[in-house]
Amino acid sequence: MKTIAVIGAGTMGNGIAHVFAQNGFQVHLIDIAQASLEKGLATITKNLDRMLAKTSISEKDKEETLGNISTYTDLKEGVSGTDLVVEAATENLTIKLKIFKDLDEVCDAKTILATNTSSISITQIAAATNRPDKVIGMHFMNPVPIMKLVEIIRGYSTSDMVTKTIMELSAKLGKTPTEVNDYPGFVANRILMPMINEAIETLYNGVAGVQEIDTVMKLGMAHPMGPLQLADFIGLDVCLSILNVMYDGFKNPKYAPCPLLVNMVMAGELGVKSGEGFYDYSESRKAERVSTQFN
């Protein structure tokens, strides 16, 4: 594999493009909006500058990485001649099904199609194509340039050869690929999201405040970040979407999202990206936002 297309220039997409480009792959970064592509490239440049300041890369490394990235707003042009397409669009089933249907029509028959979904069924996504054996999940962790894990999810029809190829490719990126099967939430979010949801329930029920809950989990359980702060960084809308996928998939009430989470998302308090969540990021990341709301 030499040429990789990445669909979506947002947080995950530009991170995935960064990692592939830094490891010598030619990357076609695709987004429907030119402004998003420019913002994505600016983020990659900023992250490379941080690495340069820490002397973990050289100026030449930075220039070569940026030189390996080309941008496109046209899907057909962007995926032309690519060996692998990694979709990193928003976590919405309807959008992903449309993208994969279109990809199946415009990509070479040999091209492997991967999705960075964190919860949606690979089998269902693959069913939108005529190449379900060549569809696989590559769930990168955020921030992509730093986090080592890639959750590799096999759909019902994903071939052994495609799985082996993607596992080996992920290792070439300096990541640790871990193969899992296709069930709602996979492994990472099947375990993480109920914990985050329970932390929100604990706040909702007035057991403790935001900082207190996070402090208990950081100091008592050796978590690097408390679950409420982590939810803010993931995006409360993303957490809600993943919980809904698991609730719909398993029909088990333990995955039902907390009413507080639902209300916060409806109110537009999505965490870091909106400036407000469980903490108030518009003033200070340490400012408490809702810790006493239910005390």
CATH number at 166 reads 3.40.50.720
* 164 burial via Cβ count (<10 Å: 0-12, 13-18, 19+): exposed
Last residue of a domain, one of 164, 181, 198: 181
Question: Binding site annotation covers 127?
Answer: no
Residue 147 sits in the same domain as residue 101: yes
Task: Examine the residue annotation and report whether 105 is marked as an active-site residue of this protein.
Answer: no
Structural domain of 241: 189-294
Residue 26 belongs to what H/E stretch?
A: strand 26-30
- For the chain, what is the domain count? 2
Q: Side chain identity at 165, as an amino acid letter?
A: T
In the predicted structure, residue 284 carries a pLDDT above the cut 90: no
**What's the predicted TM-score (pTM) here?**
0.89
**Overall average pLDDT of the 88-109 stretch:** 96
Residue 236 sits in the same domain as residue 254: yes
**69-72: strand order across its sheet:** 69-72, 26-30, 3-7, 84-87, 112-115, 135-140, 149-154, 176-181
Task: Examine the residue annotation and report whether 151 is marked as an active-site residue of this protein.
Answer: yes
Task: Examine the residue annotation and report whether 28 is marked as an active-site residue of this protein.
Answer: no
Q: Which of 28, 36, 116, 151 is catalytic?
A: 151
Residue 202 sits in the same domain as residue 176: no
Model confidence at 258, pLDDT cuts 50, 70, 90, reads very high
Residue 246 sits in the same domain as residue 164: no
User: How far lies 8's CA from each of 71, 131, 149, in Å?
Assistant: 11, 22, 20
**Tokens in use for 83?**
């060996």
In the predicted structure, residue 295 carries a pLDDT above the cut 80: no
Question: Binding site annotation covers 273?
Answer: yes
Task: Examine the residue annotation and report whether 189 is marked as an active-site residue of this protein.
Answer: yes
Residue 245 sits in the same domain as residue 203: yes
pLDDT tens digits for 170-212? 999 999 999 999 999 999 999 999 999 999 999 999 999 999 9
User: How far lies 143's CA from each of 13, 15, 207, in Å?
Assistant: 11, 7, 31
Question: What DSSP designation does 281 have?
Answer: T
The share of the chain scoring above pLDDT 70, in percent, equals 96
pLDDT tens digits for 20-35? 999 999 999 999 999 9
